[in-house]
């Protein structure tokens, strides 16, 4: 049966949701098939949700999704490839007015006019399937607490995922992770890392062999990315024709390192657009660094890094179509349980991609490779055919409500947690 794999996945993940798994599973079906909603309770209006509206809140209060078991189940659905491409990034869930929500922090928000918001940060590590630029399949999607940093959280997530992968792993990351701190913290993890670095970054070459006199040198020549006077001849240069960007020149310098991670050698890669097809405007070069075993040819490195933007697409899809930031939840625990459902729904859409019959709106054109949004738009009939592993609802007694005469107290408010940022102490100039 063509539905066996999909039904087996739904049945097994249904058992990993803990208490209130029936309401939680029906809530996910309702979310995936509801395009627009104004509040969490509105998902109870879907015919796939057989319970009352109050069960939507009960699901987030009582459910306990097992993240480790769910991650291992996701890994089983990944095909055996020569290497696995993972993307890591983090985003903000803005909650400016939620004064009673504990552990809010200041978070960066690139899409807003004010680049800083107050809320909770979430780190995501996702599998990026080949030839599917609009898809990113999250393996872990977890909150960054006030005592954690995005780099430390991403390092922990990478360790957890790599324990269950047998193939080679390549991780692609944005410039926030292109520094010595990330390289040092992930040095013991057997993966290759491809990160973008800022154009004002400084790198150092590997020193010559120790002469036996004095302290051994850690750094030799300085390579400043925005100062061509500090450059030397590249070790390898290739030119390729990209269908979208035109002719590209890719240069590579080997045996460089960050100043704070001298023990980790890496390759510096520059990507230049020679004759852009879309405009005659001169574009700044893109700088990448490769740390670890370099098992790809230089001409293929750029294509793999470009797949990193699938994580950004998934963040947009989760917020807009899966309604991730819609509920106004009162506790960080509820927010975490709600966020654990986002990867599970995405994997259900991925497995249903080849099973659904495309349902198009009148103004939409046909698609060969369905996007996550188009699959969700076509999912209702499939769920109606295969059914749900959730059991039928049972009648319950009415709650006695608030006791008469019992005093009500205001909920406790919490201050915004400020993360400390340690800087290297500069040596004071001694008086002559």
CA distances from 230 to 97, 100, 296, 362 (A): 49, 53, 27, 58
pLDDT for res 217: 81
- Give me 382's structure tokens: 């499939």
Work out the mean pLDDT of the chain and round it to a whole number. Answer: 89
pLDDT for res 207: 84
Mean pLDDT of 416-421: 78
Q: Place 276 in a pLDDT band, splitting at 50, 70 and 90.
A: low
* Segment 211-254, tens digit of pLDDT: 777 777 888 899 999 999 999 999 999 998 888 888 889 999 99
* Segment 282-332, tens digit of pLDDT: 678 999 999 999 899 998 898 899 999 999 999 999 999 999 999 999 899
Q: Does 275 have pLDDT greater than 60?
A: yes
Least confident of 372-376, 378-382, 404-408: 404-408
Go through the domains of the chain in sequence order and give each one's CATH number: 66-207+217-333+354-372 (3.90.350.10)
Q: Does 431 have pLDDT greater than 60?
A: no
Phi then psi for residue 16, to 5 deg, are: -100, 10
Q: Does 425 have pLDDT greater than 60?
A: no
Q: Give the residue with greater pLDDT, 139 vs 219.
A: 139
Q: Which DSSP string do the residues of 72-126 spell out, in sequence order?
A: HHHHHTS---SEEEEEEEEEEEE-TT-TTSSS-EEEE-TTSSSSEEEEEEEEEEE
**Distance in angstroms (rounded) separating the CA atoms of residues 406 and 322:** 39
What is the value of pTM for the model shown? 0.91
pLDDT for res 11: 95
**Distance in angstroms (rounded) separating the CA atoms of residues 317 and 349:** 12
Are the beta carbons of 163 and 361 closer than 8 angstroms? no
Q: Which helix (H) or strand (E) holds 75?
A: helix 67-76
* Segment 357-368, tens digit of pLDDT: 988 888 989 888
* Segment 25-52, tens digit of pLDDT: 999 999 999 999 999 999 999 999 999 8
**Distance in angstroms (rounded) separating the CA atoms of residues 294 and 309:** 21
371-376 CB contacts, 8 Å cutoff, 24+ apart: 371/134, 371/135, 372/134, 372/135, 372/314, 372/317, 372/321, 372/346, 373/317, 373/321, 375/349, 375/350, 376/32, 376/33, 376/35, 376/321, 376/349
């Amino acid at each position: 049966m063509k539905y066996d794999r999909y039904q087996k996945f739904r049945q097994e993940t249904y058992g990993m949701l803990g208490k209130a798994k029936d309401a939680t599973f029906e809530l996910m079906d309702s979310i995936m098939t509801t395009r627009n909603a104004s509040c969490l309770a509105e998902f109870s209006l879907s015919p796939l949700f057989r319970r009352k509206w109050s069960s939507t809140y009960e699901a987030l209060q009582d459910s306990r999704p097992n993240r480790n078991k769910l991650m291992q189940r996701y890994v089983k659905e990944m095909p055996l490839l020569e290497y696995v491409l993972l993307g890591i990034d983090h985003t903000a869930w803005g909650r400016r007015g939620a004064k009673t929500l504990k552990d809010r922090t200041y978070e960066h928000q690139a899409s807003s006019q004010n680049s800083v918001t107050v809320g909770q940060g979430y780190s995501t590590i996702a599998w990026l399937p080949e030839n599917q630029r609009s898809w990113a399949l999250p393996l872990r999607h977890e909150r960054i607490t006030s005592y954690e940093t995005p780099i430390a959280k991403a390092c922990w997530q990478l360790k957890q995922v790599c324990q269950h992968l047998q193939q080679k792993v390549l991780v692609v990351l944005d410039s926030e992770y292109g520094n010595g701190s990330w390289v040092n913290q992930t040095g013991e993890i057997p993966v290759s890392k491809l990160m973008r670095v800022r154009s004002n970054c400084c790198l150092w070459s590997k020193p010559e062999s120790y002469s036996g006199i004095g302290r051994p040198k850690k750094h030799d020549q300085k390579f400043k990315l925005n100062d061509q006077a500090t450059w030397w001849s590249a070790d390898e240069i290739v030119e390729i024709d990209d269908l979208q960007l035109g002719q590209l020149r890719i240069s590579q310098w080997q045996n460089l390192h960050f100043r704070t991670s001298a023990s980790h050698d890496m390759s510096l890669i520059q990507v230049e657009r020679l004759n852009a097809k879309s405009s005659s405007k001169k574009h700044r070069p893109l700088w990448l660094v490769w740390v670890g075993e370099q098992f790809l040819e230089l001409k293929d490195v750029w294509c793999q890094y470009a797949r990193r933007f699938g994580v950004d697409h998934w963040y947009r899809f989760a917020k807009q179509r899966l309604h991730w930031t819609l509920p106004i939840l009162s506790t960080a625990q509820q927010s975490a349980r709600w966020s654990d459902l986002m990867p599970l729904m995405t994997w259900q859409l991925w497995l249903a991609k080849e099973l659904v019959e495309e349902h198009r709106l009148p103004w939409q054109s046909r698609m060969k490779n369905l996007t996550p949004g188009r699959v969700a738009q076509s999912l209702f009939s499939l769920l109606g055919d295969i059914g749900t592993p959730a059991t039928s609802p049972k009648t319950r007694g009415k709650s006695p409500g608030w006791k008469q005469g019992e005093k009500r107290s205001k909920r406790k408010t919490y201050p915004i947690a400020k993360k400390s940022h340690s800087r290297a102490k500069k040596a004071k100039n001694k008086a002559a």
